[in-house]
Amino acid sequence: MISKEQLDKFKLIYKKEFNKEISDQEALEQATKLLNLMEIVYKSFLENEVELKNYK
């Protein structure tokens, strides 16, 4: 769950990067998608690290 404070920070970063204000709903959707992507990338990274250690 994303807190209101985190959501506000995300909206501020979005505004700085894209010069566009977004609603709380849009920010929540975009932030959730970003977190899901980061989770996938991080898990993949960890799996690759384990594979590399086992390969050596």
pLDDT at 52 over 80: no
Going from N- to C-terminal start, the domains of the chain cover 4-55
Environment class of 22 (CB within 10 Å of its CB; exposed 0-12, middle 13-18, buried 19+): middle
Its pTM stands at: 0.77
pLDDT tens sequence across 7-31: 999 999 999 999 999 999 999 999 9
Q: Residue 55 — very low, low, confident or very high, per pLDDT cuts 50/70/90?
A: low
Report the amino acid identity of residue 56.
K
Q: What is the DSSP annotation of 16-52?
A: HHHS----HHHHHHHHHHHHHHHHHHHHHHHHHHHHH
